[in-house]
Structure 1
Amino acid sequence: MLTTSMVGVSLVRMLTLRYYSPPDLIGRLQFLEFPKKVSNCVVCAAKGPRPRYPRVWKTRTKVGTVSKSLKLVECIKGLSNVKEEVYGALDSFIAWDLEFPLITVKKALKALEHEKEWKRIIQVTKWMLSKGQGRTMGSYYLLLYALAEDGRIDEAEELWTRLFSDNLESMPRVFFDRMISIYYRRQMHDKMFEVFADMEELGIRPTVSIVNMVGDVFQKLGMLDKYQKLKNKYPPPKWEYRYIKGKRVKIRSHNLREPENGNKEVNEFSNESNRDYESNSDELEVDQYEVPELDEPEPEPGESLISPSVP
């Protein structure tokens, strides 16, 4: 006995065979053949492939921290040096942000540092610190560097004193290097000796640039005995580590630069030996085989070349 479902299925088959025979069905499906090569086109089921045209509504404005930081730099470049005007422009720039755009401000500071806009760096950094954001040693180091380059030595010394008193035993060595470079460039020998004496008291080993600057001052002042003790206590290293294409490589430090008369920038002089940077393998002698270990004598404890109360 036939059921209702069986009758429905047979009726559908009869209608299919009546109106669409297999040859006709195959002929109608010939236009659905897809091309063998994949191309940048959209296959339409009724009219074939449709070519792609460039969208006229596509915008070229990039949304991100890089473009936003460039807008921030352009926003404050044309302003005067009045504090209220600069702070007001910065406040209006971040008015619609739900959170403080710290990454944007950091990238803007990098762009200003590249253009050597020291006044703007000081203003933006102080504004950022007043908001309670970006209170890192990197921000304070950039502010110290900008104050020194702008000629505001009193503010730089005040910032250095406050940072040194707050972080007595955890002060990074680059800050000592920066302050000694500032005093060396301006021939402030007494304060330079004080910073060097603080380094020895804290047990911080000076970099090659610091030893060269202090030794050069000893030679200028005729203190040859101090100069000889300094060279014996901190001899130049025979080996140093650098990063070449992301790999840590031990190389000979035969091309260490001597201190100059301050004609070049401080940044090129003071940070050349304590920063790991990438360089070409053609310019360096890389020992690919066995390399002896560092044979640098450690400074003797309790012995200081300079007392804090040097006249």
Structure 2
Amino acid sequence: MARCAWGLGEVRPLCDLCRLTDLRGLPSLTFIPASKIRVSRFVQCSKRDPSLKLMKASKREHHLWMKRDSTGSGQKALNLVRTVEKLPNEKEVIYGALDKWTAWETEFPVIAAAKALEILRKRRKWLRIIQVTKWMLSKGQVFTMGTYDTLLLAFDMDGRVDEAESFWNVILQTHTRSVSKKLFSRIIALYDHHRHPEKILEVFADMEELGVTPDEDTVSRIGRAFTILGQEDKPDLLLKKYKNKWKYLHFNGERVRVHATKHCAEQSKSCKEFKTNSTPR
């Protein structure tokens, strides 16, 4: 039997007014079973009788799981950035300040540390990123592909190719089958920036062994490395295996589709010119 509510939490049988009134003409009237009525605001049942009110089911749903408290993580990140930027480039001093930053924390502030790394990355503080990330790894925290990518980028921008190579070898030994395509692209871009074509081919050999398909920019860098090392026939085979038929470029503010083979032919020509100009006389 339909019911209407007269007061908070009070359910009574259907009144005579509701029984005699054409309910279809009242869009604000809603009938709900007594078991589904929740404590919420009242809704007017009829414009003729304002005293007649009916409970409306609430749409609010409460979460049953525990949400991790991230309140104040932004301020913690800013405090960490301000503290680190004022310190000298000494390992003991920096590690001591970072230990004080987490001294009163019951759990390691992963969210605040990640935000601090993002702030340092936007400010291009590559040395501080290296120091903070190494400290986090020494604490057994944030062993993620995103952290590895940030550290490799900082090594690239700070010119630490040897450290990047040793760190990359550790990543390959630890996460052999789970290394992402993004990390392979990052280390190849690092070797390309610092002109180590032989290292690029070594990483490419690992990619083929693990079955990782390189993206478009990585294919271009690998082809350029083949050309610089004098293996002129390899870029064409590489393009046939991995290159897409079309490539999209931005020209005069618009996205233009061009033939990838023609574009790569122009790239290989520029690589040959680069090789002739870079050879010692």
TM-score bin, normalised by smaller chain: 0.5 to 0.7
Structure 1 equivalent of residue 234 of structure 2: 226
The answer to whether residue 185 in structure 2 is matched with residue 191 in structure 1 is no
Q: Please point out which of 225, 248, 254 is paired with 2:248.
A: 254
Summarize the alignment of residues 140-219 of structure 1 with structure 2, pairs less than 5 Å apart: 140-219=148-227
How far apart in 1 are the matches of 2:182 and 2:202?
Answer: 16
Normalised by the length of structure 1, the TM-score is 0.56
Q: CA deviation at 1:81?
A: 0.7
Secondary structure in 1 aligned to 2:249?
coil
Which deviates further from its counterpart, 164-173 or 105-114?
164-173
How far apart in 1 are the matches of 2:245 and 2:139?
Answer: 44
Summarize the alignment of residues 1-311 of structure 1 with structure 2, pairs less than 5 Å apart: 64-236=72-244, 238=246, 253-255=247-249
4+ runs deviating over 4 angstroms: 282-285
CA RMSD of aligned residues (A): 2.2
Q: Amino acid of the residue matched to residue 182 of structure 2?
A: V
Q: Structure 1: 5+ residue runs without aligned partners?
A: 1-62, 239-252, 258-281, 286-311
Secondary structure in 1 aligned to 2:106?
coil
Q: CA deviation at 1:256?
A: 7.7
How far apart in 2 are the matches of 1:197 and 1:218?
Answer: 12
Cα-to-partner distance string for 1:245-296 (whole Å, 9 max, x where unaligned): xxxxxxxx52289xxxxxxxxxxxxxxxxxxxxxxxx9558xxxxxxxxxxx
What percentage of aligned pairs have identical amino acids? 44
Q: CA deviation at 1:218?
A: 2.9
Q: Amino acid of the residue matched to residue 254 of structure 1?
A: Y
Q: CA deviation at 1:237?
A: 5.0
Q: CA deviation at 1:148?
A: 2.2
Secondary structure in 1 aligned to 2:100?
helix
How far apart in 2 are the matches of 1:223 and 1:76?
Answer: 47
Secondary structure in 1 aligned to 2:87?
coil
Task: Select the structure that is richer in helix.
Answer: 2
Count of residues in correspondence between the two structures:
186
Secondary structure in 2 aligned to 1:96?
coil
How far apart in 2 are the matches of 1:119 and 1:220?
Answer: 31
How far apart in 1 are the matches of 2:160 and 2:131?
Answer: 13
Point out which structure has higher relative CO (alpha carbons under 8 A, 6+ apart): 1
Secondary structure in 1 aligned to 2:116?
helix
How far apart in 2 are the matches of 1:98 and 1:217?
Answer: 50
Q: Amino acid of the residue matched to residue 74 of structure 1?
A: R
Q: CA deviation at 1:115?
A: 0.6
Cα-to-partner distance string for 1:166-192 (whole Å, 9 max, x where unaligned): 221221111111111111122211111
Normalised by the length of structure 2, the TM-score is 0.61
Q: Amino acid of the residue matched to residue 169 of structure 2?
A: T
Q: Amino acid of the residue matched to residue 176 of structure 1?
A: F
